[in-house]
Amino acid sequence: MDKEHLNYVIDMGLLISFLIVIVTGIIKFRALMNIFGLDYSSLPMKLFSVWHDWAGLVMVVLVLVHLILHWRWIVIVTKDIFKSKKKR
């Protein structure tokens, strides 16, 4: 798998896990459910909690992999930014 394809797969995994965390987080947020007038007790909260937790863990792992794959670029850009500030 080339680097471009790997980045795409990781980014799509991040997007999907991020969306799951957002949706399940909103569902778990009892005050929001009350504002929208939804019956909180009828939802399978344990299932949403498990999805939320696992999606969060997947997201953390994918963020770490993403940072590792882009570490060289991060270092180069950081050096360039600090060099530019010294010249001012």
Condensed to tens digits (0 to 9), the pLDDT of residues 51-68 reads: 999 999 999 999 999 999
Task: Tell me what pLDDT residue 2 has.
Answer: 92
Provide the whole-model pTM.
0.77
How far is Cα 4 from Cα 70, in angstroms, rounded to an integer?
12
Task: Assess whether pLDDT exceeds 80 at residue 3.
Answer: yes
pLDDT at 88 (0 to 100): 60
pLDDT at 6: 94
Q: How many CA atoms lie within 13 A of 69 on its CB side?
A: 16
Q: What is the pLDDT of residues 13-46, one digit of tens each?
A: 999 999 999 999 988 887 777 777 777 677 788 8
Residue with tokens 């009892």: 30
Please state, in angstroms and rounded to a whole number, the distance separating the CA atoms of residues 51 and 17: 9
